[in-house]
Amino acid sequence: MLDLFIGNISSAISHEILMISTENKELASRYKKERDNLIVISEKYRHNINPISDILPDKDIEYIKSKVKNKIKSELSSRIKKGYKNINLNIIEELIEKYLRAVKVI
């Protein structure tokens, strides 16, 4: 369950960073319904990870953050290597915080 949770959060953040980096970001963000689905699915998984009603222990938070960060970096780095420009890797940590807070992990 934890792996699925990490997979979804990583995918949602990679998607957001790629979206911000396109010249058509206004258009890319227009139809939010499908993208919000990833958050809804992540929330479902979160409800199966203990402690359900409290934030996770520091050790687990660090583990999740590091796994999510690696997954996002790998997804985006392959594109940067191919020549993608304007992908801002500096916002990864800020977005991880935002998303984990949204699904009450931290």
Partner 1 sequence: MELISKISKGTKMDQIYIPKNRPGFHTGEYVKIIPVNERPKDNYYVYNIKEVPPIKIEIAKQIFQIIESMINYDNIIITGSFLDENFKFNDIDIIIITENKKEIEKSIKEKLKIEVHTILFNQSLLIEALKIDPKWRLMLSRCISKKRIAPLPQRKLKYRYLDVQLIESKTLMINFNYLTGKEKYKLTRNMMAISMFIKNKNISNKSIEKEIEKELDTNIEDLKNNLVTNDFFKRYKTFYSKLEKEIIENASKQEKDA
Q: Compare residues 28 and 102 and give the one whose CB is closer to partner 1.
A: 28
Closest CA to 85 of 34, 2, 22: 22
Determine which residue in the list 61, 84, 102, 106 makes contact with partner 1, applying CB under 8 A: 84
Residue type, 30: R
Helix axes 92-102, 33-46, angle to 10 degrees: 70
Helix or strand run (H / E) with residue 99: helix 92-102
Q: Compare residues 9 and 105 and give the one whose CB is closer to partner 1.
A: 9
Interface contacts to partner 1, rule CB under 8 A: 4, 7-8, 11, 14-15, 18-19, 21-24, 26-28, 30-31, 33-35, 37-38, 41, 44, 78-79, 82-85
